[in-house]
Structure 1
Amino acid sequence: MPQCFATEQQIKYLTLLSEKFPTCQAVFTEVINLEAILNLPKATEHFISDVHGDFEQFDHIINNCSGVIRERVRAVFRHRLTPSEQAELCTLVYYPDEKLRRIKETKQDTPSWYRASLGMLIELARYLSDAYTRSKVRKAMPVAYAYIIDELLHASPGEQADRAAYHGRIIESIIETGSAGHFIRSLASLIKRLAVDHVHVVGDIYDRGAHGDAIVDRLLRYHSLDIQWGNHDICWMGAAAGSAVCVATVVRNNVHYDTLDILEGSYGIQLRELALFAEKTYRDGESLSPTEKAVSVIMFKLMGQVIARRPEFDMGDRLLLEHVNAERGTVRIGGHEYELTTKDFPTLDLKHPYELTEDEQRVVTSLVDSFTNSRRLRRHVDFLYEHGSVYLAYNGNLLFHGCVPMRKDGSFRPIRVGDRHIAGRAYLDACDRIARRAWHDHSEETLDWMWYMWCGLSSPLAGRKVKTFERTFVKDRSTWVEDQDPYFELACRPDVCQHVLEEFGLYGDGGHIINGHTPVSKASGETPIRGAGKRLVIDGGFCRAYHSKTGIAGYTLIVDANGMRIKAHRPYDEIGDVVADRGDIYSDDDQLEVNPRPLKVADTDTGAHIRAQIDDLTALLDAYRNGELPERGDAA
């Protein structure tokens, strides 16, 4: 009798695995395939952060793959195309619909143009496909044309001459049947898909810019990505889950940045009750509009209610409405009196400063109902939950938006969650669980935490004392300065960065912390590289509101087989300029690290998963060979 090496539990698992691989030959084939994948080049990852609703800028960065398309075009065609011709080809890849429309309008849509364009796109796609298995490339192709594109891409060097006529005939047929435009669009999509394998969005999709919804729609169609929630994102998520204070905060932010169209036009949020209430209650003609004053006071009242019922948040110093003197137009903060921008506080009752009036409650009820019943917003927030998390450890790097709360000595600061104090990774895990519970159970406690994660000093998404009251109502800008968690200063030291990485199970010298949240002012000489390269802060101000502050239009961190580099993007104006003038977002490229040898899939987290699959398949093969499991053969 054959000796049994597997436990009963292992046999159950291997029995399930045998349904997919019923014979030794099936196992051999899969192991050979997996071993081959391990030796492919590591796929390219892109990291972006703090896009803040600027859809045009974001969309162009996605379309030009942060400049990678331009680099690949130059690599393939530098000896055959002029810089102007290379730019034309890039534009065709970025915006095929717009470019094809312009080609037709200018009567350039001749068979020779289509023939040349298809040939260059096929060559570029073939060059990019070398980093992937043929199976993965085929899956990335548009279904309608997958067979034909597969034929055009894959020809071994020895048969190139023999197949040239065959490929030429395929291209001529494409042109003759009027399908050239469809094929150009399909090839452009495939090229962009192959240029970047995976995108990481390190927080703050929403607010400031007007089109966070369009960014989420774009991400919904993206082939492979993950999201680390930012504090602005978590506030929208809390609002969609029914948190009244998050709802008021989202509305206030959009009123302040004059981006109400995302609420009314995109998500169908009804603001009529708020507008009518503000018009009849607050004075016009001040620096703040009646609507901003109305929603701000409602927000601060709701904040006060949360702070009162959550002493563990330790936010008593944020209870400022009770210190407002509307007659004098001042507020007392920290023992000092400061002048306010307005004396217009008609709904403030100093005996009950955080109590909503009947009219205010009616406004809040209307807004909460509107947020929680918006189908499009629910779909978008579902997507943020499905693809998002508070943090992610991926290929040796640690991604999170804000901070890991610390003491000044560099130890992790315990934070009270429920009836216990937790710190470091355990605290971030708890915040992740709370956020997910809020979406499902809508309990008062979890919804309060969603608001705290938006603005709390010990929130891993914020990490600072957000002073919205001072920035809204106080003239003296010295009061606007926001205290930050010690992490932001301490994590400029490599030893502290290593301490954080090890807390999340990332040992060795090759790991990095990748953050967003704090804009890097390149114009003032700041650098995104901190902690001797162990920490990278990639908030470069995608949103136009930040361009003057940062001096750039955002960063993209690129990690590929050869190393790690960061691109600082220059601002551009309109997509029309890109198509008409062959324009682009150009980038300054800083090489951070060069790998001593090009990395392979075997060096990544995917490689570790594949090796585990190979181990399982090897165990299945042993079970077949020693008789513990029968091969299923044709009966399977």
Structure 2
Amino acid sequence: MILKANDETELSLLAGVYPSIAAVTSAIKELEDELNLPKGTEHFVSDLHGEYESFCHVIKNGSGSISQAIDETFTQQLSAAEKHQLTALICYPEEVFSHKGDGVNLEALCSVQSLVRLVIICRFFTKFNARSTVKELMPANFSRPLATLLFDFQTGSELSSPCLNILDNLVASGSVKEFIVAIAELIQKLAISKLHVIGDIYDRGPGAHQIMDMLMKYHSVDVQWGNHDILWMGAAAGSEACIATAIRIALRYTDLDTLQSGYGINLLPLAALAVELYGDDPCEQFQPKVPAEQILPNHDRRLLAQMQKAIAIIQLKLEGQIVQRRPQYQMNDRLLLDKIDLAAGTVSIDQVSYPLIDQHFPTISADSPYTLSEDEQSVIEQLKLAFTASKSLQQHVRFLYSHGAMYHVSNGHLLYHGCVAMNDDGSFKAFKVAGKEFAGKAFVDRVDALARQGYFSPVGSEEKAYGEDAMWYLWCGEQSPLFGKQRMATFERYFIADTATHAEGRNAYYVLRNEAQSARKILQEFGIAPDTGRIVNGHVPVKVKKGESPIKADGKLLVIDGGFAKAYRGETGIAGYTLVANADSLSLVAHPPFESVKAYIEQGPQMEPDVECVETMSPALQVKDCEEALQINEGIVSLKSLLSAHQMGQLKQQ
């Protein structure tokens, strides 16, 4: 704990924590020692898209760092099978103990020898963390034995007699399994000092709510919002357009777990409307994308397609209403429902007439195409109530606001999901908000504030309505830093066969980000030294299979969307990236697909992660070289003021 002392009152409060010269001196020494520790390991991940099991595995094994530490520590002492068994025990202690298959020797895992190995690996990661941090992360029920094992009797790689006695007593007391779970979870936490999630937790995969539960319990995490996150944040705020879009995407990718099991959203009203309106409609263009491992009966496929069409029409109407009431968005090209010629079965786009694949629009009125029917209005009102009343969804979204933002700066790294909108000439693209022009960092800061306004403003206020519409714009607007495309061609992809109309176009940023000059300009715009700074970017999958490199702009910009989502692995050829920044190196870790916990325990990883070193640091970085040193030094100054007050007799020692 670091406290500041700016006046006599604060000094007195600080004295309550450190009541004597000895206590203050010890605290100053501990902070000064912390400055000389190796820099903590930061992990950067992006575009998780609901893939809970894959993400969970990456975090539990520290992007491969735990198995690497075991390999380095026990190079000669353990066989490959024994090393994997130890790794699996650290990553999945409870699952190992309950495992019924092959590959697990429970008697050996619960032996004193096994405990010794766990303590040695825990010591390995302890040296990268301040003692106060380690103590905070220790489980309360084993804090005393762990403190002794990790701090008091370290003699190289061997354990002293008192430590061995502690382990003998744990085995004899029958609490060895509980201790293994505790020390394994501590190792997992110590392996990652900070976790940065660079957007898109939601959509595609089935476990976004589980990822959010995990992040809420994580010891040190920040989130940079992605366009799919802002969509769900808008839905939680009550934006009907965001609600309709989130449901449509869930139905398209058969991701009903997050909606129904995670957030308790009742889709029966939508299902009833879909059957009534589209019961005889094959809804061919709305067939769900079913994962290969999922079995979905034909009647369920048909219902999901009908529901998807019903909510898609509602979405297009609601979006049209936003475009009409917010002319400043300059999105009139998205007003397509009024361009439909129902008699001819065509739609006119940019004065070109295209035949419609699907011509069944029972709720679209030629006179008022963007008005919801009475039944559609009833359904969206019920869905809005479900989203705004979902306790778990609201908890998750509040966490995204409290631990997240449009961008974040950490130790010279600028983190953001999408882009900083640019013109073809490399200048920052300007946009008017409330009559004032914004560009670059100023625009990103402005829309961050609008996203908060849309959620936290009083219900029914104009400020909230304005903010809700802004969140929808951040999902799909051309200027949105989270989207970065010229348009979202939802209508065209569903209803027009000509694929030329499906093209969405990208902001110039996505070409310019390959140039070091552009990256340096962005870093400077956000107040980061361009010579030493670096951008970490997500949003667009890296086409590794086609030879694309995630390292761009002469190393100034790293794209870490590596395809956690199964929907994108065909493009990337891998199953996700982690960027790992530790004391002596910056590395990109490309992860192979994760099959299951059971397969991992029994067989080990079928493929090891591929590690590419981006940069080495010589000498290795210490805490004093990082941002947290500022707070530590402030704490030292305050403690020295307290020490002087104790020495001068200004405060009574206890």
Aligned partners of 2:396 and 2:50: how far apart in 1? 14
Sort the Cα spacing of 1:279 and 1:21 in 2 relative to 1 into closer, same or farther, 3 A. same
Aligned partners of 1:187 and 1:104: how far apart in 2? 24
SS of equivalent to 1:226:
strand
Q: Does 1:54 align with 2:51?
A: yes
Per the alignment, residue 271 of structure 2 pairs with: 275
Per the alignment, residue 359 of structure 1 pairs with: 375
Q: Does 1:96 align with 2:117?
A: no
Q: Does 1:319 align with 2:335?
A: yes
Residues 425-456 of structure 1 show CA distances to partners (whole Å, capped at 9, x for unaligned) of 11111111111121111421010001001111
Equivalenced residues, count: 624
Residues 605-636 of structure 1 show CA distances to partners (whole Å, capped at 9, x for unaligned) of 101222233344445556777x7xx621236x
**Identity in percent:** 39
Higher alpha-carbon deviation: 409-418 or 399-408: 409-418
Residues 36-61 of structure 1 show CA distances to partners (whole Å, capped at 9, x for unaligned) of 11100000000000010111111111
Letter in 2 for 1:154: F
Measured after TM superposition, the shift of residue 458 of structure 1 is: 0.7
Aligned partners of 1:481 and 1:84: how far apart in 2? 50
Residues 280-300 of structure 1 show CA distances to partners (whole Å, capped at 9, x for unaligned) of 112432312221111111000
Per the alignment, residue 5 of structure 1 pairs with: none
Question: Of 190, 194, 206, which aligns to 2:190?
Answer: 194
Per the alignment, residue 264 of structure 1 pairs with: 260
Residues 547-579 of structure 1 show CA distances to partners (whole Å, capped at 9, x for unaligned) of 111111010000000020101111132221111
Measured after TM superposition, the shift of residue 183 of structure 1 is: 1.1
SS of equivalent to 2:602:
helix
SS of equivalent to 1:399:
strand
SS of equivalent to 2:160:
helix
Measured after TM superposition, the shift of residue 108 of structure 1 is: 3.6
Question: Of 523, 528, 545, which aligns to 1:506?
Answer: 528
Measured after TM superposition, the shift of residue 116 of structure 1 is: 2.5
Aligned partners of 1:186 and 1:308: how far apart in 2? 57
Aligned partners of 1:492 and 1:107: how far apart in 2? 48
Question: Of 140, 144, 147, which aligns to 2:141?
Answer: 144
Q: Does 1:179 align with 2:175?
A: yes
Aligned partners of 1:75 and 1:400: how far apart in 2? 34
Sort the Cα spacing of 1:584 and 1:194 in 2 relative to 1 into closer, same or farther, 3 A. farther
Aligned partners of 2:157 and 2:426: how far apart in 1? 61
Question: Of 578, 600, 609, which aligns to 1:556?
Answer: 578
Q: Does 1:605 align with 2:602?
A: no
Per the alignment, residue 417 of structure 1 pairs with: 433
User: Normalising by structure 2, what TM-score?
Assistant: 0.91
SS of equivalent to 1:131:
coil
Residues 359-397 of structure 1 show CA distances to partners (whole Å, capped at 9, x for unaligned) of 111111111011101111111111111111111011111
Aligned partners of 2:506 and 2:103: how far apart in 1? 56
Letter in 1 for 2:311: V
Sort the Cα spacing of 1:157 and 1:247 in 2 relative to 1 into closer, same or farther, 3 A. closer
SS of equivalent to 2:98:
helix
Higher alpha-carbon deviation: 249-258 or 326-335: 326-335
The answer (yes or no) to whether the contact 1:22–1:631 under 8 Å persists in 2 is: no
User: Normalising by structure 1, what TM-score?
Assistant: 0.93
Measured after TM superposition, the shift of residue 474 of structure 1 is: 2.0
Aligned partners of 1:508 and 1:612: how far apart in 2? 27
The answer (yes or no) to whether the contact 2:646–2:652 under 8 Å persists in 1 is: no
Q: Does 1:444 align with 2:465?
A: yes
Letter in 1 for 2:590: A
Aligned partners of 1:111 and 1:179: how far apart in 2? 15
The answer (yes or no) to whether the contact 1:23–1:632 under 8 Å persists in 2 is: no
Question: Of 577, 581, 597, which aligns to 2:603?
Answer: 581
Residues 130-169 of structure 1 show CA distances to partners (whole Å, capped at 9, x for unaligned) of 12233322221111011112222234456998x7333333
Aligned partners of 1:349 and 1:572: how far apart in 2? 49
Question: Of 589, 614, 634, which aligns to 1:592?
Answer: 614
Residues 488-543 of structure 1 show CA distances to partners (whole Å, capped at 9, x for unaligned) of 21121111111111111111522111110001010011111111110011001101
Per the alignment, residue 289 of structure 2 pairs with: none
Aligned partners of 2:537 and 2:512: how far apart in 1? 14
Q: Which runs of 5+ in 2 are unaligned?
A: 287-304
Q: Does 1:429 align with 2:445?
A: yes
Higher alpha-carbon deviation: 13-22 or 555-564: 13-22
The answer (yes or no) to whether the contact 2:96–2:104 under 8 Å persists in 1 is: no
Letter in 2 for 1:405: A
Aligned residue runs from structure 1 range 90-239, under 5 A: 90-102=87-99, 108-110=105-107, 113-156=110-153, 164-239=160-235
Per the alignment, residue 35 of structure 1 pairs with: 32
The answer (yes or no) to whether the contact 1:520–1:550 under 8 Å persists in 2 is: yes
Per the alignment, residue 409 of structure 2 pairs with: 393
Q: Does 1:527 align with 2:541?
A: no
Residues 59-82 of structure 1 show CA distances to partners (whole Å, capped at 9, x for unaligned) of 111111111111111111111112
SS of equivalent to 1:520:
coil
Sort the Cα spacing of 1:219 and 1:414 in 2 relative to 1 into closer, same or farther, 3 A. same
Aligned partners of 2:375 and 2:157: how far apart in 1? 76
Question: Of 425, 441, 459, which aligns to 2:480?
Answer: 459
The answer (yes or no) to whether the contact 1:327–1:343 under 8 Å persists in 2 is: no
Measured after TM superposition, the shift of residue 419 of structure 1 is: 2.3
Letter in 1 for 2:372: L
Aligned partners of 1:585 and 1:106: how far apart in 2? 18
Q: Does 1:634 align with 2:653?
A: yes
Measured after TM superposition, the shift of residue 335 of structure 1 is: 2.3
Per the alignment, residue 487 of structure 1 pairs with: 509
Sort the Cα spacing of 1:112 and 1:599 in 2 relative to 1 into closer, same or farther, 3 A. closer
Aligned partners of 1:160 and 1:505: how far apart in 2? 45
The answer (yes or no) to whether the contact 1:238–1:447 under 8 Å persists in 2 is: yes
Sort the Cα spacing of 1:587 and 1:561 in 2 relative to 1 into closer, same or farther, 3 A. same
Per the alignment, residue 4 of structure 1 pairs with: none
Sort the Cα spacing of 1:181 and 1:9 in 2 relative to 1 into closer, same or farther, 3 A. closer
Per the alignment, residue 291 of structure 2 pairs with: none
Aligned residue runs from structure 1 range 536-575, under 5 A: 536-575=558-597
Higher alpha-carbon deviation: 544-553 or 276-285: 276-285
SS of equivalent to 1:273:
helix
Sort the Cα spacing of 1:304 and 1:265 in 2 relative to 1 into closer, same or farther, 3 A. same
The answer (yes or no) to whether the contact 2:93–2:181 under 8 Å persists in 1 is: yes
Higher alpha-carbon deviation: 81-90 or 38-47: 81-90
Per the alignment, residue 3 of structure 1 pairs with: none
Per the alignment, residue 296 of structure 2 pairs with: none
Letter in 2 for 1:126: R
Letter in 1 for 2:613: Q
Measured after TM superposition, the shift of residue 27 of structure 1 is: 4.3
Per the alignment, residue 334 of structure 1 pairs with: 350
Sort the Cα spacing of 1:439 and 1:177 in 2 relative to 1 into closer, same or farther, 3 A. same
Residues 185-224 of structure 1 show CA distances to partners (whole Å, capped at 9, x for unaligned) of 1111011111111110000000011111111111122111
**C-alpha RMSD of matched pairs (Å):** 2.2
Sort the Cα spacing of 1:20 and 1:107 in 2 relative to 1 into closer, same or farther, 3 A. closer
The answer (yes or no) to whether the contact 1:199–1:226 under 8 Å persists in 2 is: yes
Measured after TM superposition, the shift of residue 24 of structure 1 is: 5.6
SS of equivalent to 1:344:
coil
The answer (yes or no) to whether the contact 1:111–1:175 under 8 Å persists in 2 is: no
Aligned partners of 2:148 and 2:235: how far apart in 1? 50
Sort the Cα spacing of 1:478 and 1:13 in 2 relative to 1 into closer, same or farther, 3 A. same
SS of equivalent to 1:598:
coil
Aligned partners of 1:586 and 1:544: how far apart in 2? 19
Letter in 1 for 2:76: H
Aligned partners of 2:23 and 2:419: how far apart in 1? 47
Aligned partners of 1:157 and 1:144: how far apart in 2? 22
Per the alignment, residue 478 of structure 1 pairs with: 500
SS of equivalent to 1:428:
helix
Aligned partners of 2:421 and 2:646: how far apart in 1? 52
Aligned partners of 1:425 and 1:159: how far apart in 2? 50
Per the alignment, residue 79 of structure 2 pairs with: 82
Sort the Cα spacing of 1:360 and 1:112 in 2 relative to 1 into closer, same or farther, 3 A. closer
